[in-house]
Amino acid sequence: MNNIEISPHDGHGAVLHLAHGTPDFALPGGEPAARWRTLLGRMDLGRYEAVVVVSAHAAEKARAVLAGGIASPPLLHDYRGFSPKLNDLHLKTPAAAEELRHRLLAGLGVLGLPVADEPTRPLDHGVWVPLLGAFGSRLPVPVFSLGLPLHNPLGRVRKWGEELGSLPIRVLWISSGGIVHNLSALAWDEPEGVPYGWARDFWEAVETHTAKHAFEPLLDPWTLPGGSLAVPTREHYAPFILASGLAGRPLVPLAEGFAYRSLSLEVLAGARLARELRPQAAPIPHPPSL
């Protein structure tokens, strides 16, 4: 994704899309976390009222759920087989003012979905892995998780993004998933292996359509080369579509790469944020062997 025009966007917040990879990416000292920190760690989060993360792992069936926003929200360790050091990680954040929480809940009404307020619901690893990796364990603003019915048609998901992007709230929106995300094809013994041919074919198709601002083909990824394998289920791909709606135009690449041959490791941003961060853009190195 190298030829996307960077245009101004007049929204109130900013947009990031992060492929969250595997849980161990959150461990300090690892290459993915180091790259995230290089790209994003100098951001001034204090300019935002809150960080709101839409995670593939917070997918809902038919409602929107606003979780977190409390001081140092609990983390959900929703995985098996990774380093026990992950259980020692914590996220320290201030609590959101009730007025901000009420504004967010009211704003979510634009989605046309039932909205649930669950402040004590633990944050899944799709939320805390990129936050810890990019910004460390202490954030100066409240962190919320927004769960959405990501199994809906992708055109509807994009429309939700457009609606959320219009809210008059200074939010850093982070969508957390992965454009190519096939867990059944992971090559655990090849963390630095070249991507499968179908994974590369799909990535290049997404890259081509995005560069041309041809968004409609991206709403039916299974018709693209390698799409049935790259997007076996839509919940990890849907956050990318949501972020494109939030940004109001194609996202700008900051870094890309692959891990275990079937996980893409993209970092994309809305145009305004990309202008600030683009000078630091570089490929994401592969994670170390487990």
Q: Is the pLDDT of residue 1 over 80?
A: no
Q: What is the pLDDT of residue 158?
A: 96
Q: What is the pLDDT of residue 271?
A: 87
- Of all residues in the chain, what percent carry a pLDDT higher than 70? 92
DSSP for the chain, written as a single string? -----------SSEEEEEE---GGGGSTT-HHHHHHHHHHTT--GGGSSEEEEEEGGG--SSSEEEEE-SSS--B----SSS-GGGGG---B-PPPPHHHHHHHHHHGGGG-S-EEEETTSPBPHHHHHHHHHHH-SB-SS-EEEEE--TTS-HHHHHHHHHHHHTSSS-EEEEEEE-SSB-GGG--TT-TTPPPPHHHHHHHHHHHHHHHTT--GGGGSGGGSTTHHHH-SSTTTTHHHHHHHHHHTS--EEEE--EETTTEE--EEE-HHHHHHHGGG--PPPPPPP-
Three-state SS for 20? coil
Highest mean pLDDT among 79-93, 231-245, 257-271: 231-245
Domain 14-280 homologous superfamily, CATH = LigB-like (3.40.830.10)
From 39, 280, 54, 32, select the one nearest 172 (Cα to Cα): 54
Read off the pLDDT of residues 179-232 as tens digits, 9 standing for 90 and up.
Answer: 999 999 999 899 888 999 999 999 999 989 988 888 899 999 999 999 999 999
What average pLDDT does the structure give for the chain? Answer: 89
Question: How many whole angstroms separate alpha carbon 219 and alpha carbon 115?
Answer: 25
* Domain residue spans of the chain: 14-280
> Closest Cα to residue 67, out of 135, 121, 148?
121
Give yes or no for residue 282 having a pLDDT over 50: no
**What's the pLDDT at 65?**
98
Confidence of residue 289 (pLDDT cuts 50, 70, 90): very low
